[in-house]
Amino acid sequence: MVAAMSAPEKVEDILGQEAEDLLTYQAKVPKETLHLPGADWVDRIFSITDRSPQVLRSLQQLYSHGRLANTGYLSILPVDQGIEHSAAASFAPNPIYFDSENIVKLAIAAECNAVATTLGVLGSVSRKYAHKIPFIVKLNHNELLTAPNQFDQIMFASVEQAWNLGAVAVGATIYFGSPESTRQIQEVSRAFARAHELGMATILWCYLRNSAFKQDGTDYHISADLTGQANHIGVTIEADIIKQKLPENNGATQP
């Protein structure tokens, strides 16, 4: 017997109450103005900037490695949980990752474009793996031992240390909107400038942190206007690549 097939659901039924808004939405930005990823991403976007040939080469290394090579997209394995969230909480379910080499092995097995982690992790295996997968040294972290806990990214490593172990890029986090954000912006700006001098690319973890961004049950940490402004500041200090949490609402700056 052949079971009767149910009638396919209409798109409107799947989208429910949001159907009209989503299906009739008209973008305010013309699609022709978008810079879409592609194999020529470094040539098209970065080659006209003030980046040196060494920085362009480092960026091309990132975009030319792994299963997403030469697509304009990146898949980076970031592992700094040992500091940000405590190693026990992060690695206890898979104890093999207490061994720093296994973090790099995982990135290679997954065919990532690069692995981003702490100075200690990458420094412990640099001679064995720096030529096998691009290294990204995360320069600052929010350490978890201070009581009470505080949201503050502090420098754990120098740009020179990252360069010496063979890193292709350095990364850093700024908590925009936090009481410490002014200092963090200045520290990261100086670090990124130095990284560019040494020929390395720069990656910014671009996050918002301020209790005032939560109002009347809405979390504006993920508001398009605030995250967009944070991204703009990140570009201003010449972050080559920016990681952000995708926005889920808008209008935080409206009166």
For residue 87, give the 3-state DSSP assignment. helix
What pLDDT band is residue 118 in, cutting at 50, 70 and 90? very high
Q: What is the CATH number of domain 36-243?
A: 3.20.20.70
pTM of the full structure: 0.89
Q: What was the pLDDT predicted at 231?
A: 95
pLDDT at 171 over 80: yes
What is the distance between the alpha carbons of residues 165 and 178, in angstroms, rounded to a whole number?
A: 32
Cβ contacts of 102-106, under 8 Å, gap ≥ 24: 103/77, 103/79, 104/129, 104/133, 106/77
Percent of the chain residues past pLDDT 70, beyond the cut: 96
Cα–Cα distance measured from residue 252 to residue 144, given in angstroms and rounded to the nearest whole number: 29
Q: What angle do CA 142, 78, 222 make, to 5 degrees?
A: 65
pLDDT tens per residue across span 132-150? 999 999 999 998 888 887 8
pLDDT category at 4 given cuts 50, 70, 90 is low
Q: Which residues contact 87 (CB under 8 A, 6 or more apart)?
A: 81, 98
| Active-site entry in 10, 105, 138, 243 | 243
Report the alpha-carbon distance of residue 7 to residue 203 in Å, rounded.
48
Mean pLDDT of 241-247: 92
Residue 22 predicted with pLDDT over 90 = no
Mean pLDDT across 110-128: 97
Pairwise CA distance, residues 249 & 9, whole Å: 28
Q: What are phi and psi of 137, to 5 degrees?
A: -90, 120
Task: Measure the CA–CA gap between 84 and 175, rounded to whole angstroms.
Answer: 13
Cα 157 to Cα 107, 117, 123, 160, 174, distances in angstroms: 22, 11, 11, 8, 15
Tell me phi and psi for residue 142, to 5 degrees. -100, 100
How far is it, in rounded angstroms, from Cα 141 to Cα 174? Answer: 10
For the ranges 11-20, 25-34, 53-62, the one whose mean pLDDT is highest = 53-62
**What is the predicted pLDDT for the residue at 8?**
54
Mean pLDDT computed over 68-84? 91
What residues does each domain of the chain span? Answer: 36-243
Active site residue 243: yes
Specify the residue for token string 């490695």: 65
User: Predicted confidence band at 13 (pLDDT cuts at 50, 70, 90)?
Assistant: confident
Is pLDDT at 6 greater than 60 in this prediction? no
- 42 φ, ψ (degrees, to nearest 5): -65, -45
- Specify the pLDDT at position 104: 97
